Structure 1
Amino acid sequence: MAEAERVIGMPDTPEAGGAEPEESSGAAAPEEQPVSRVKRKIPVLFGVALVAYLLDLGSKMLVVAKLEHHEPIEVVGDLLRFEAIRNAGAAFGIGEAFTVIFTAIAASVIVVIARLARKLYSLPWAIALGLLLGGALGNLTDRVFRSPGVFKGAVVDFIAPANFAVFNLADSAIVCGGILIVILSFRGLDPDGTVHKD
Structure 2
Amino acid sequence: MARFPEQIQNLIDDFNTLPGIGRKTAERLVFFVLKQNAAYIHKFSGHFEQLSAVNKCQECHNFSFAQTLCSICDDPKRDKTILCLVEEHHDLNVIEETDTFRGLYHILGGVLNPLEGITPDKLNLQNLIDRIKKNKVTEVILALNPDMQGEATIMYLNKFLQPIPGIKITRLARGLPMGSDIEYADEVTLANALSNRREVN
> Which category of TM-score, normalised to the shorter sequence, fits these structures?
under 0.3
* TM-score (normalised: structure 1): 0.22
* TM-score (normalised: structure 2): 0.22
Query: Looking at CA atoms only, which structure, 1 or 2, has the larger radius of gyration?
Result: 1
